[in-house]
Amino acid sequence: MVKMSVVYEGDLRCRLTHDPSGTEIVTDAPVDNQGKGQSFSPTDLVAAALGSCMLTVMGIAARKSSINLDGAKVDVEKEMVSDPIRRIGRIIVKIYMPRAIALEKRSFLENVARGCPVHKSLSPDMNLDIAFSYPD
């Protein structure tokens, strides 16, 4: 179990602390929801966590399989919806893979990414658009 602390600092801003490391993140409400949009919103962190989780589990699998994943990149876009309630309606994930990933390893890595814990924790009501791009 990992403990994290969240302190409300006022004006729709929170300071999050990862207790084991002491690392801090500040969140701010987005402009379209009464905030200043000066930092990640909580829902931004969900979308970013998805991209990070996908790369991380692919990295674990790549390491075990002697695949060089260095330079892989993820771009994530998040769309909010308000009907019937305000929530994340769609996350678009574009994964840019490095050169020289063998054809026979690509589907393996893509399946690993889609099995990441964050992906598996998201609501099935959320639309996830995931695309992989290979430079060769």
- Model pLDDT for residues 30-61, shown as the tens digit of each residue: 999 999 999 999 999 999 999 999 999 999 99
Q: How many domains does the chain have?
A: 2
Whether the predicted pLDDT of 63 surpasses 90: yes
- Asked whether residue 8 falls in the same domain as residue 50, the answer is no
CA 108 to chain centre: 20
Instruction: Say which CATH number the domain at 80 has.
Output: 3.30.300.20
Same domain, yes or no, for 121 and 79? Answer: yes
Q: Are 4 and 13 in contact (CB under 8 A)?
A: no
Whether 100 has a pLDDT exceeding 90, the answer reads no
Residue 124 parent element (H or E): none
Q: Which domain holds residue 113?
A: 41-136
Q: What is the CA radius of gyration of the chain?
A: 17
Q: Can you state the percent helix, strand and coil of the chain, rounding each to 5?
A: 30, 35, 35
Query: Do residues 68 and 121 both lie within one domain?
Result: yes
Same domain as 45, residue 11: no
